[in-house]
Amino acid sequence: MRLFRNKQIAAPAVIFRGGARTCDVAFTYRMPAGFAGDVNRTHPASIEPCLPDPTNFPTFAGQACVIDATSKLLRYMGVTDDTALTDIYGVAVRAFPIQQQTGGMAASFGTATMNAAQPVDVLKSGYIMVPVQGTPVKGGIVYVWAKPVSGLHVPGGFEAAASGGNTIALPINSYSWNGGPDANGVAEVIIRA
Task: List pLDDT tens digits, range 83-128.
Answer: 667 789 999 998 765 555 566 666 665 555 677 778 899 999 999 9
Is the pTM above the cut of 0.95? Answer: no
* DSSP 8-class letter at 173: T
The pLDDT of residue 144 is 93
What whole-number distance in Å separates Cα of residue 111 and Cα of residue 122? 20
Q: Given a cut of 70, is residue 42 above it in pLDDT?
A: yes
Strand 7-9 relative to strand 39-50: parallel, antiparallel, unpaired?
unpaired
The pLDDT of residue 110 is 55
The pLDDT of residue 132 is 96
The domain segmentation of the chain, as residue ranges, is 33-193
Instruction: Enumerate residues 6+ apart whose C-beta is below 8 A from 8.
Output: 1, 2
CB 177 within 8 A of CB 137: yes
Instruction: Enumerate residues 6+ apart whose C-beta is below 8 A from 117.
Output: none
